[in-house]
Amino acid sequence: MSVIIAIDGPAGSGKSSVSKEAARRLRCGYLDTGAAYRSLAWDCVDRGVGLDDAEAVAAVAAEHEVIRPLNPDQQRHTVRGVDVTDAIRGEDVSQSVSAVAAHQQVRDTLNTGFRRLVANSGYPGVIVEGRDITTVVAPDSPARILLTADEAVRIARREAENTGVNADALAARDAADSKVVNFMTAADGVWTLDTTEMGFDEVVSAVVEFIVQRTQLAVVT
């Protein structure tokens, strides 16, 4: 069975880019759970479902026809046959995703799907990144990591990605998400890596080294 490598962190902490590169080096799968919630938010908006209606959103989640890519180099997301890869990064979805994620039944449904997807992935391991992976999705993972960074650094990283994120937007996102799960403080047994003064390659190397130490996975050259 494929092992789950759990990585959490706030927006701009580097968890997505670091997780993808670590997956490449370890020949592992990569699961972006944030994209899953964004895809669901897009689906709800497209169907005209009220995001505050927990039962309605949960119903969409239960029948959500979505392709979740695990290849770190092929991250195209499809919902009901529609490629939504670019659409789920748009402002409309960004403003909607926290409301969707706030419903516990929705989170339970998606989390069950994440575990099933990893178990049947065919990869020796899958790096799963998000907000509550280390505490809820995979609390028994042998390698659990919380990536953090100072707010100014996180904003700069987001701006470098041309996401249009400023200090107010980042603070609002952190505040909205923190109502659902505490992703700023590491739980017991979770390794915290502050990336504020670290370069990208340095962070990836540290993460890969930790994973190798805690699992039977190895770097493939």
Residue 159 lies in a domain: yes
If 0-12 CB within 10 Å is exposed, 13-18 middle and 19+ buried, where does residue 197 land? exposed
pLDDT for res 117: 93
Q: Is residue 86 part of a domain?
A: yes
pLDDT at 5: 97
Query: Model confidence at 152, in pLDDT bands (50, 70, 90)?
Result: confident
Whether residue 206 is contained in a domain is answered as yes
Q: Which residue has the higher pLDDT, 166 or 191?
A: 191
Instruction: Name the helix (H) or strand (E) containing 129.
Output: strand 125-130
Residue 172: predicted pLDDT: 63
In a domain, 216, yes or no: no
Instruction: Report the pLDDT value the prediction gives residue 36, as an integer from 0 to 100.
Output: 94
Q: Is the pLDDT of residue 176 over 80?
A: no
CA 4 to chain centre: 13
Q: What are phi and psi for residue 216, nearest 5 degrees?
A: -95, 10
**221 falls within a domain:** no
pLDDT-derived band at 155, boundaries 50, 70, 90: confident
pLDDT per residue as tens digits for the range 93-118? 988 998 999 999 999 999 999 999 99
Whether the model clears a pTM of 0.85, i.e. scores above it, the answer is yes
Instruction: Tell me how far apart the alpha carbons of residues 189 and 144 are, in angstroms, rounded to a whole number.
Output: 7
Residue 194 buriedness (CB in 10 A; 0-12 / 13-18 / 19+) = middle
Contacts of 124 (CB under 8 A, 6+ apart): 2, 3, 27, 28, 216, 217
CA distances from 83 to 87, 115, 172, 215 (A): 8, 23, 28, 35
What are the distances in angstroms from CA 181 to CA 121, 133, 158? 27, 10, 22
Structural domains counted in the chain: 1
Residue 215 included in any domain:
no
Domain that holds residue 144: 3-210
Residue at 126 is within a domain:
yes
For the beta carbon of residue 117, count every other beta carbon within 10 angstroms.
Answer: 17
User: Does residue 178 carry a pLDDT above 80?
Assistant: no
Look up the CATH number of the domain holding residue 69.
3.40.50.300
Nearest to 57 by CA among 95, 89, 104: 104
Q: Is residue 11 part of a domain?
A: yes
